[in-house]
Chain A
C-alpha cells in the first residue's frame, strides 16, 4: 500500500520559519495537498495542488515539492499556527486516498 511519511513533530519560536516535510514515491507524479487540524476541530485545507493557497489562508503558508519530497513552509510562524498538519495525496491510480501520519507543530 502507498504511504506518505512525515516527521512526528516540529518546533519553532514565534516569527521563525517552520518547515514540514512529506515524502512519498508517487509525489513526482501526484500533487501533494496540506491540511491543518487544530485541537478538537475538523481539518482545513491550507495548500492544494502543491503550492496554491485557498481563499482565506494567510500568505505565510506556502508549499513546494521536489522529486519524492513535498514541503509545507510557514514563514513567520504565529502561535495560532500551532496544530497538526497532514499531507495528502492519491496513489498512482488516483482511486485510493492517502494521508501522511501528521506532524504536530509547536510554536513557543
Chain B
C-alpha cells in the first residue's frame, strides 16, 4: 500500500524558515517524480514544486520561486521542502503527492497524496 506521511509543519514568524519532510513507503520511491501541493485555509489547491526521480529536473510555481527548495533522498525514501523567507500567504496545508505518467500524453498527474501538514506563518 502506497503511503505518504508529511511532517515538519508548525507555527513560524514571517521571514522565518521551515523544512517539511515526506516519508514514502509501499512503492519504489526512486522510480517516481514527486511534488508538493498546498491549500490555504478555505482556498483551492495550488501546485508548489516538482522533482524528478533522480533530482535532475526541478520546477517551482512562480509564487515560491527563489524562496523554496525541493529535494529528495532516495536512500531514505524521503522528500523535502525547505521554505525560507516565509510570508503570511504561505499559510496552508502542504501535501506530498506522487506523480504518475500518462502513457497517452506524456504528462504527469498526481496519483497518491499524503494527509498534509499545516504551516502557519504569523507573528
Question: B26 contacts the other chain (Cβ, under 8 Å)?
Answer: no
Residues 97-119 of B at the A interface (beta carbon under 8 Å):
102, 104-111, 113-116
Complex Cα distance, B47 from A100, in Å, reads 11
Question: B78 contacts the other chain (Cβ, under 8 Å)?
Answer: no
Complex Cα distance, B116 from A41, in Å, reads 9
With an 8 Å Cβ cutoff, the count of chain A residues facing the other chain is: 28
Choose from B44, B47, B116 the contact partner of A102 (Cβ within 8 Å): B44
Residues 36-86 of A at the B interface (beta carbon under 8 Å):
37, 41-45, 48-49, 54, 84, 86
With an 8 Å Cβ cutoff, the count of chain B residues facing the other chain is: 24
User: Inside 8 A of B107's CB, which chain A residues have their CB?
Assistant: 30-31, 89-90, 94
Question: B59 contacts the other chain (Cβ, under 8 Å)?
Answer: yes
Identify the closest chain B residue to A48 (Cβ).
B109
User: Inside 8 A of B95's CB, which chain A residues have their CB?
Assistant: 42-43
List the interface of chain A (C-beta within 8 A of B). 1, 30-31, 33, 35, 37, 41-45, 48-49, 54, 84, 86, 88-90, 94-102
* 3 pairs of A and B residues whose beta carbons are closest in the complex: A97-B47, A42-B113, A102-B44
Known pairs A94-B106, A96-B59 / 5 extra A-B pairs, C-beta < 8 Å: A31-B104, A42-B115, A44-B113, A49-B104, A97-B35
